[in-house]
């Protein structure tokens, strides 16, 4: 095959040595008819595709990408004019109404181009620009290349020579380097020679996250080639015919359809075949988009030629001023609700002569998503043998629509104390994940795991739904209409009318499943039925996910109706020692059954039952006792040594309540009667060792050697009661529930200032999390994380 860009040197030449699709597809397709008659197929030297998957977990085959780019490339409009060649099938191109010199036109379009770039930058989008060669349509670079989060850069075949000439190796090289994209480049441009065109994201409107490509077939969007592309890139294809007012094929899909993260703008009138229209709508609905239908007239004003991007302060809708103005108030309101900001840029001359608008002017630039380093991908994914080893892999769930089921009348059921602002809640959760990432941990989202499970095919997808909702229920559903997000968000017909409940507390990932030494993940049997589903969901994820299938999974506790146990009560002190809180949520039988399993199947030799009061504020052991370093814990002052201080504070609170004429009462007796004690169970020894005072016992057993306290060291307040009262307040907002990222480094809520000061005074590095909204759920950083892999500590293993 001819080498087109020889002047560019070895690298480029090598990558363009043959249509790359042949490498991936030649083998399986050999037996079939050539896809495109007249084009010979050959086998080029194979380069294995590396699919990172969205989670980056090894073996996750679904190629996942983010939908939103935070960077775009714009090419200047030097040489811009109405292109005779493209005018043939672009019915949106016009001519100048008044004569203008070349220079005048240049000035006008340059200002429009510059204006769009400035507005996008102002909205926090990174805009890269490139100079032009001087071709008429160069300002529309999205047609000749696309970039993808899995590291792909694709070059497309253009229908007419003046546009094929736009392909710029220097741009490709620059983008590839800056965005860490993979080689070889997937180069389809040679197809143009056979008269086959597929013009980038003009022809392919991509729902990257859901891996669906929408294509209006035209001379610029060849069906066969689109199929080849989809197969190679791992997309599902939705093809249809789109017509303009005159009944002529619309040249590019992105003129009549825009598909974004949460919404789509579509001109239904442009799809005359009702069946095809239905299929497009079904695909959009399946991926939960808000659909904004527009009229043909609005389409002609380029209302569909828009794109959602990610700016620094939130998502941005980039659209032309004409497109935006053509919409009516209600359409605009819906769109404004879907994004954080609208950028409506005036580009009338570019629209008029170019027949394209804002979306065509920006080519999205996606950085390659991080992948697990080769070595760690071969190691056991689940290996968590301490509470403090450097965090390597952690599973979290970013709260989503399930939060909307929390309202004043469901608070108790949902086990939270306040109603949430979902947007703030999500933002704060992102704050947590970015802290984890900056400290080098790989963060995996349950939502992505679910997507990867379901991408394995219909059978697996069905099994996933059946495992959580039951076979019978799923049998009565049209699986096509279900989305994995509903497994967490709940299945509702109407607001607050759920056929399947929302898993409101899933973002407290600690509880439904937990890791124990020896590479085991153990499924919990949560105390409240509302949380039991979470364990079922994680059970399904671990059984069905291609990477997690291999993880040793113990589900024996789930079937014992006498057991309750949650991950918040299970602390792995070291490879041989596990602490289990016997609490409101975990009963003694739960602790005993876990011990049985640990002794029988794992390296654990010692299980310590820690008995704590059964109170909401102390629902799990980790609400009042967490490791901040090897052998160092953060806990409540006087809790273990002088419970009578708590009794006294309770008595005083009761008195105050009484004086105020309120009926609120604390149980004073509880504090005096049951000082926290521990029982140490040793492998092979049926009689546990009992310690009347938990803390003394833990020290005697060599499990902890230092304790730090919520709000400060004991003895630093005017009285123990003053300390306990302040500590109870910070602890209510999860001051004691810190999450250790590595020995001596923890994540804590910023709000808990006195505790943070004390930790820092004692040499602990505290990463502060802004989490006022997260706190309403009654859980802290440890509750929200399910660590799967931590570096092993140097000693003891
Ligand atoms: N490990 C923890 N402490 N988890 C806190 C869970 C909070 C949650 N709202 C519940 O009541 O279940």
Task: Please state the ipTM of this predicted complex.
Answer: 0.89
Tokens of 325: 């103005």
The residue whose C-alpha atom lies closest to atom 1 belonging to ligand 1 is: 568
For residues 203 and 209, what is the distance between their CA atoms, to the nearest angstrom?
Answer: 18
User: Does any ligand 1 atom lie closer than 6 A to the CB of residue 777?
Assistant: yes
The 8 Å CB, 24+ separation contacts for 236-240 are 236/211, 236/212, 236/283, 237/212, 237/213, 238/212, 238/213, 238/214, 238/279, 238/280, 238/283, 239/215, 240/214, 240/215, 240/216, 240/271, 240/273, 240/276, 240/277, 240/279, 240/280
Q: What percent of the chain has pLDDT over 90?
A: 71
| Cα Rg of the chain (Å, integer) | 30
Q: How far is CA 706 from CA 629, 696, 698, 703, in A?
A: 9, 11, 10, 10
Helix, strand, coil distribution of the chain in percent, nearest 5: 35, 20, 45
Cα(379) to ligand 1 centroid in Å equals: 31
Q: How far is CA 230 from CA 147, 212, 225, 261, in A?
A: 14, 9, 8, 19
- Under DSSP, the state recorded for 198 is B
The residue whose C-alpha atom lies closest to atom 10 belonging to ligand 1 is: 415
Cα(508) to ligand 1 centroid in Å equals: 6
Instruction: Check whether 48 has a pLDDT greater than 70.
Output: no
Is residue 713 within 8 Å of residue 731, measured between CB atoms?
Answer: no
User: Does any ligand 1 atom lie closer than 6 A to the CB of residue 738?
Assistant: no
Q: Which of 90, 200, 78, 198 is nearest to 139 (CA)?
A: 78
Render pLDDT for 451-469 as a digit per residue (tens, 0 to 9).
Answer: 889 988 899 999 999 999 9
Cα(711) to ligand 1 centroid in Å equals: 22
Q: Degrees (nearest 5) of the Cα angle 77, 79, 85? A: 105
Instruction: Check whether 8 has a pLDDT greater than 60.
Output: no
Q: What is the DSSP string of 364-377?
A: EE-PPPP---HHHH
Question: What kind and span of H or E run contains 73?
Answer: strand 71-75
For residues 257 and 328, what is the distance between their CA atoms, to the nearest angstrom?
Answer: 17
pLDDT: which is higher, 87 or 379: 87
Q: How far is CA 370 from CA 151, 207, 398, 752, in A?
A: 10, 21, 19, 33
Dihedral pair phi/psi, residue 528, rounded to 5°: -90, 135
Q: How far is CA 611 from CA 490, 526, 623, in A?
A: 35, 18, 13
Cis peptide before 699 (omega within 30 of 0): no
The residue whose C-alpha atom lies closest to atom 5 belonging to ligand 1 is: 779
Burial class (CB in 10 A: 0-12, 13-18, 19+), 378: exposed
Render pLDDT for 598-615 as a digit per residue (tens, 0 to 9).
Answer: 999 999 999 999 999 998
For residues 399 and 411, what is the distance between their CA atoms, to the nearest angstrom?
Answer: 16
For residues 137 and 78, what is the distance between their CA atoms, to the nearest angstrom?
Answer: 9
User: Does any ligand 1 atom lie closer than 6 A to the CB of residue 403?
Assistant: no
Render pLDDT for 257-297 as a digit per residue (tens, 0 to 9).
Answer: 999 988 999 999 999 999 999 999 999 987 778 899 999 99
Dihedral pair phi/psi, residue 587, rounded to 5°: -95, 175
Task: Give residue 231's Cα distance to chain centre.
Answer: 24
User: Does any ligand 1 atom lie closer than 6 A to the CB of residue 783?
Assistant: yes
* Residue 66 confidence (pLDDT): 67
pLDDT: which is higher, 34 or 573: 573
Q: For residue 567, give the ligand 1 atom closest to its CA.
A: 1
For residues 528 and 627, what is the distance between their CA atoms, to the nearest angstrom?
Answer: 26
Q: Residue 770: CB partners within 8 Å, gap ≥ 6? A: 428, 431, 750
Cα(779) to ligand 1 centroid in Å equals: 5
Q: How many CA atoms lie within 13 A of 598 on its CB side?
A: 29
Global pTM reads: 0.61
Q: Which of 181, 743, 180 is nearest to 439 (CA)?
A: 743
Which of 86-90, 545-549, 575-579 has the highest average model confidence (pLDDT)? 575-579
Classify each residue of 631-640 as buried b or exposed e, where b means 16 or more C-beta atoms within 10 Å of its C-beta.
bbbbbbbbbb
Instruction: Check whether 552 has a pLDDT greater than 50.
Output: yes
Burial class (CB in 10 A: 0-12, 13-18, 19+), 393: buried
**pLDDT band, very low/low/confident/very high, at 55 (cuts 50, 70, 90):** low
Q: Residue 322: CB partners within 8 Å, gap ≥ 6? A: 301, 302, 346, 347, 348, 351, 357
User: Does any ligand 1 atom lie closer than 6 A to the CB of residue 505?
Assistant: yes
Owner of token pair 């998503």: 369
**pLDDT band, very low/low/confident/very high, at 54 (cuts 50, 70, 90):** low
Classify each residue of 654-688 as buried b or exposed e, where b means 16 or more C-beta atoms within 10 Å of its C-beta.
beeeeeeeeeeebebeebeeebbbbbbbeeeeeeb
* Residue 6 confidence (pLDDT): 25
| Average pLDDT of the residues of the chain | 88
Q: Degrees (nearest 5) of the Cα angle 393, 395, 400? A: 150
Is residue 238 within 8 Å of residue 277, measured between CB atoms?
Answer: no
User: Does any ligand 1 atom lie closer than 6 A to the CB of residue 140?
Assistant: no
**pLDDT band, very low/low/confident/very high, at 56 (cuts 50, 70, 90):** low
Q: How many CA atoms lie within 13 A of 93 on its CB side?
A: 17
User: Does any ligand 1 atom lie closer than 6 A to the CB of residue 302?
Assistant: no
Q: Residue 694: CB partners within 8 Å, gap ≥ 6? A: 610, 611, 640, 675, 676, 677, 678
Which of 534, 738, 783 to mutate to test ligand 1, by most ligand atoms within 8 A of the CB atom? 783
Q: What is the DSSP string of 276-304?
A: HHHHHHHHHHHTTPEEEE--HHHHHTTSS
Q: For residue 569, give the ligand 1 atom closest to its CA.
A: 1
Strand, helix or coil for residue 275: helix
Dihedral pair phi/psi, residue 625, rounded to 5°: -160, 105
């Amino acid at each position: 095959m001819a080498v087109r860009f020889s002047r560019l040197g070895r690298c480029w030449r090598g990558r363009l040595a043959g249509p790359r699709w042949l490498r991936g597809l030649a083998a399986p397709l050999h037996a079939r008819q050539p896809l495109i008659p007249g084009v010979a197929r050959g086998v080029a030297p194979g380069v294995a595709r590396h699919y990172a998957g969205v989670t980056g977990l090894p073996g996750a085959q679904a190629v996942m990408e983010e939908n939103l780019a935070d960077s775009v490339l714009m090419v200047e409009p030097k040489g811009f004019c109405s292109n005779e060649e493209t005018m043939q099938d672009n019915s949106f191109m016009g001519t100048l109404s008044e004569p203008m010199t070349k220079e005048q036109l240049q000035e006008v379009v340059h200002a429009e181009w510059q204006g769009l770039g400035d507005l996008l930058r102002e909205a926090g989008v990174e805009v890269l620009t490139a100079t032009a060669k001087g071709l008429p349509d160069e300002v529309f670079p999205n047609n000749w290349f696309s970039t993808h989060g899995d590291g792909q850069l694709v070059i497309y075949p253009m229908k007419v020579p003046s546009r094929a000439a736009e392909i710029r190796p220097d741009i490709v090289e620059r983008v590839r380097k800056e965005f860490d994209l993979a080689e070889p480049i997937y180069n389809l441009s040679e197809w143009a020679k056979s008269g086959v065109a597929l013009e980038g994201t003009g022809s392919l409107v991509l729902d990257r996250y859901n891996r669906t490509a929408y294509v209006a077939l035209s001379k610029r969007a060849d069906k066969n080639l689109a199929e080849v592309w989809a197969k190679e890139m791992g997309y599902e294809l939705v093809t249809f015919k789109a017509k303009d007012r005159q009944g002529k094929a619309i040249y590019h899909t992105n003129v009549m359809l825009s598909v974004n993260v949460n919404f789509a703008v579509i001109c239904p009138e442009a799809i005359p075949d009702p069946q095809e229209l239905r299929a497009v709508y079904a695909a959009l609905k399946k991926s939960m988009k808000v659909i904004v239908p527009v009229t043909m007239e609005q389409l002609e004003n380029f209302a569909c030629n828009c794109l959602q991007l990610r700016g620094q302060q939130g998502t941005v809708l980039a659209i032309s001023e004409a497109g935006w103005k053509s919409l009516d108030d209600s359409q605009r309101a819906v769109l404004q609700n879907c994004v954080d900001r609208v950028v409506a840029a005036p580009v009338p001359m570019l629209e008029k002569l170019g027949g394209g608008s804002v979306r065509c002017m920006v080519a999205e630039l996606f950085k390659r998503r991080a992948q697990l380093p080769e070595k760690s991908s071969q190691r056991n994914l689940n290996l968590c043998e301490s509470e403090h080893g450097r965090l390597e892999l952690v599973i979290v769930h970013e709260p989503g629509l399930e939060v909307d089921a929390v309202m004043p009348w469901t608070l108790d059921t949902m086990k939270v104390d306040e109603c949430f602002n979902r947007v703030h809640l999500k933002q704060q959760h992102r704050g947590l994940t970015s802290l984890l990432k900056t400290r080098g941990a790989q963060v995996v989202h349950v939502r992505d795991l679910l997507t990867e499970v379901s991408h394995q095919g219909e059978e697996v997808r069905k099994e996933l739904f059946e495992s959580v909702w039951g076979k019978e229920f799923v049998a009565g559903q049209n699986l096509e209409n279900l989305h994995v997000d509903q497994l967490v968000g709940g299945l509702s017909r109407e607001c607050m009318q759920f056929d399947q409940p929302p898993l409101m507390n899933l973002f407290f990932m600690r509880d439904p499943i937990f890791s124990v030494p020896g590479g085991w993940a153990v499924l919990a049997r949560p105390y409240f039925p509302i949380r039991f589903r979470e364990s079922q969901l994680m059970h399904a994820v671990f059984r069905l996910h291609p990477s997690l299938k291999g993880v040793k999974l113990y589900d024996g506790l789930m079937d014992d109706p006498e057991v309750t146990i949650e991950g918040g009560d299970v602390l792995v002190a070291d490879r041989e020692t596990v602490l289990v809180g016997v609490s409101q949520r975990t009963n003694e039988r739960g602790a005993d059954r876990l011990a049985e399993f640990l002794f029988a199947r794992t390296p654990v030799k010692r299980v310590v039952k820690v008995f704590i009061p059964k109170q909401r504020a102390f629902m799990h052991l980790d609400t009042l006792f967490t490791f901040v370093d090897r052998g160092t814990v953060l806990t409540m002052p006087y809790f273990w040594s002088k419970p009578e201080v708590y009794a006294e504070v309770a008595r005083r609170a009761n008195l105050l309540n009484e004086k105020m004429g309120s009926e609120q009462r604390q149980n004073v007796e509880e504090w005096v009667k049951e000082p926290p004690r521990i029982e140490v169970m040793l492998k092979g020894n049926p009689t546990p060792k009992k310690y009347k005072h938990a803390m003394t016992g833990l020290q005697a057993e060599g499990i902890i050697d230092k304790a730090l306290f919520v709000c400060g060291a004991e003895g630093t307040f005017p009285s123990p009661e003053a300390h306990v009262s302040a500590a109870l307040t910070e602890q209510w907002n999860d001051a004691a529930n810190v999450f250790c990222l590595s020995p001596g480094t923890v994540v804590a809520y910023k709000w808990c200032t006195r505790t943070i000061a004390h930790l820092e005074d004692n040499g602990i590095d505290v990463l502060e999390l802004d989490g006022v909204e997260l706190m309403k759920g009654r859980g802290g950083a440890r509750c929200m994380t399910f660590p799967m892999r931590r570096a092993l500590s140097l000693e003891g293993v």
